[in-house]
Amino acid sequence: MDILNIIKLKIEVISPLSIKAGSSIVGPIDNPIVRLGGKPFIPGSSLKGVLRSIVEKIAGSMDLELPDKPCNILGEVDTERNRMDKMGKEYRPCVVCRIFGGPTYASHIYVYDMLPVNYNVEERVRVAISRVTGSVEKGPFKEEYVTPGSVFRGEIHIVNIDLTSDSIEAQLFNSAIQMLNKGLVSLGSNKSIGMGRIKVSIESVKKAYLSKGMVREEDITDEFLRCLGNG
């Protein structure tokens, strides 16, 4: 049975958020933020990358055995896993790749761009100090950021993972969402100086699945929130 979970969420910016578009070719801003149709947004790729990073850290702290044990995130050869494969044992990706995809496995998570509901953009002048000389290495330069209190909305789709089950995939994903929900995660640039903190609120969760040739849909918001400890 195929399952599609649709999570609708709201992101509130807690501290100045700067997801950069790259150096400005023209204009007064050296470090502009990303925009879509002239408005700031949070790229789905940025949020998905943070989710994967959280899951990798959580899974890495657990005493998991192969095949669940996370593979080498630096892309080096996973000799132990390859050795099992050569011995004729069925290959199975690590738990992180089973959620977010890998070289031989499609992602089960689809994170869409988070679009603004209300926002404000400001700029400030900064300088970069050399750790070696203690003097100004770069600057002054102008940097854009989205101000605290700005709100974005979007969706995450999860395929064939039952979010209310006790599977390790569901537990890891839900733990990552818990951290986002508690405002413990940052996005974008300059995270080490307190920028980019966000808080995620779950607005609704629906589960669609096939049953007897028909597509059924259930609202599982309350059940999912209970799994997060919010119910």
Q: Is the pLDDT of residue 168 over 60?
A: yes
Residue 178 parent element (H or E): helix 168-181
Helix (H, G, I), strand (E, B) or coil at 212: coil
- Read off the pLDDT of residues 211-224 as tens digits, 9 standing for 90 and up: 777 788 899 999 99
Going from N- to C-terminal start, the domains of the chain cover: 3-227
Six-digit token string for 210:
């096939």
Report the range of poorest mean pLDDT among 99-113, 128-142, 192-206.
128-142
| Cβ-based neighbours of 50, under 8 Å, separated by 6 or more | 185, 186, 187
The β-bridge partners of 124 are 143
15 pLDDT more than 90: yes
pTM of the model: 0.84
Q: What is the DSSP string of 30-96?
A: SBPBPEETTEE-B-HHHHHHHHHHHHHHHHHHS-PPTTTS---TT----HHHHHHHHTTPPP---HH
Confidence of residue 53 (pLDDT cuts 50, 70, 90): very high
Provide the pLDDT for residue 88: 54
Which residues, other chains included, contact 174 with Cβ-Cβ below 8 Å and sequence gap of 6+?
163, 224, 227, 228
Q: Dihedral angle at the C-alpha atoms of 171, 177, 183, 184, nearest 10 degrees?
A: 50
Tokens of 128: 């970069």
Q: pLDDT for 134-148, tens place per residue? A: 555 565 778 899 999
